[in-house]
Amino acid sequence: MRQIYRRSTGMGSPGAQKIMGAITTGMGVLGSLNGGTMGIFVVVGILTIVIGFWSEKNPVIVLHEDHLEMKLAPATARHLIRYRDVAEIDNRGPNKIFLVVHGKKIRLPVKVLEPSDLQLVLAAVRDSQPSQPAADQARGEQE
């Protein structure tokens, strides 16, 4: 089992999320002190800080022997993807890579992963795919 966390640099990093949350919370507090209705900034800032701490402690992708788990945020569903169910890897550019599973496209979180971690994920999916002749033969046996 290999756990892959968010990249540690850039605007999507946990550190940047906590800094943006602190700034937003500060703006909300200062705006409220001046008689404004800036309370929403306090709430959004605190939520951003919580997500920053959550992102530090929880992996984005967990690679297992036969499947991967993907969870991007606390309130989102966890995607469990069996390697054998991946029909193709649809690479539409440097920031758009999809796994096609049962006809449904699931986007990989390219922007939050280090390039080396993205290569590990793609290698795990590719390495577990049956070779093309074996896959064709398996389809022929099922028909």
Q: Where are the alpha helices (DSSP H) in the chain?
A: 14-33, 39-57, 115-128, 132-142
Nearest CA to 62 out of 110, 3, 126, 106 is that of 3
Q: Is the pLDDT score of 48 beyond 80?
A: yes
Note the pLDDT of residue 142: 42
Tell me what percent of the residues of the chain surpass a pLDDT of 70: 90
Query: Best-predicted range by mean pLDDT among 16-25, 27-36, 85-94?
Result: 16-25
CATH of domain 61-129: 2.30.29
CB of 113 closer than 8 Å to CB of 7: yes
Global pTM exceeds 0.85: no
For tokens 């971690």, name the residue.
117
Nearest CA to 117 out of 52, 58, 59 is that of 59
Q: Is the pLDDT score of 45 beyond 90?
A: yes
